[in-house]
Amino acid sequence: MTKIRGILILLQFGITVSVTIIFMYLLGKKHRLARKIWGKLQLVLMGANIVETGKYDENADMLIFNHQSMMDIILFEAIAKRDIAWVAKKEIGDIAWFGHILKASNMIMVERESKKSLIQLLKDAKDRLDDGRQLCIFPEGTRTDGKELRKFKAGAKVIAEKYNLRVQPIVIVGSIDVFDSKRATQKSGDIKIIYLDTVQADKSTSWYDDAESEMKTILTKNLAE
């Protein structure tokens, strides 16, 4: 049954994402509205119940999350109170038609393992920050099976320290159980969102390693409960 539901969700993605892309282009700089409506619709269709601990910091410049599923992105498109700017792989933006989900919303696309792309990433990050947007990054660099936190890559740290950003670490638990986008399975259920204290990025401190360690501890504890 979860497989059937997963396939149906993916099929409706084809329709609703296409409609969202069209509306984003029509809305121009107000494209956030179309994304928010789409995100909230997905939560309803999947029967996702959001359980929040701590408080979302609207004033943080950057949010960093663990990454298990496409559901993580859907969650924050639905609940974020500001216009967020995801840092995503360039390959996603290159997908025929559906890549416009990134282009129409002016997200940041990076080519991994490219020094030239890192320079462009810093420029794009500054541009989105100047536009009042909140940067969203998965520092692990890829999705996991939801059972562990992988070693953080340097991208988020470089951006945050370059522009002296305030960063809020966030742990997501259970999103892969509600929607496993790799296996195409879906079932209703709770998703925990645990907001940690916002930290100031500073080259003279171990803030990034500390955030990684705290996120790992919290994820492990919640998975064991």
Amino acid 87: pLDDT: 97
Question: CA torsion angle for 212, 216, 219, 224 (degrees, to 10)?
Answer: -170
Give which of 194, 140, 189 is closest to 171, Cα–Cα.
194
pLDDT one-digit tens code per residue, 107-122 = 999 987 677 788 999 9
Give which of 79, 81, 83 is closest to 133, Cα–Cα.
83
Let me know if domain 2-224 sits in CATH 2.60.40. no
pLDDT tens for each residue of the chain, 225 residues long: 999 999 999 999 999 999 999 999 999 999 999 999 999 999 999 999 999 999 999 999 999 999 999 999 999 999 999 999 999 999 999 999 999 999 999 999 998 767 778 899 999 999 999 999 999 999 998 888 888 999 999 999 999 999 999 999 999 999 999 999 889 999 999 999 999 999 999 999 999 999 999 999 999 999 998
* Cα(171)–Cα(192) distance, integer angstroms: 8
Amino acid 113: pLDDT: 67
> Residue 150 has what DSSP assignment?
P
Amino acid 181: pLDDT: 87
0.85 exceeded by the pTM?
A: yes
Pair 222, 177: CB distance under 8 Å: no
DSSP reduced 3-state for 104:
coil
Residue 216 burial (CB < 10 Å; 0-12/13-18/19+)?
Answer: middle
How long, in residues, is the chain? 225
What's the number of CA atoms in the CB half-sphere (13 Å) around residue 170? 30
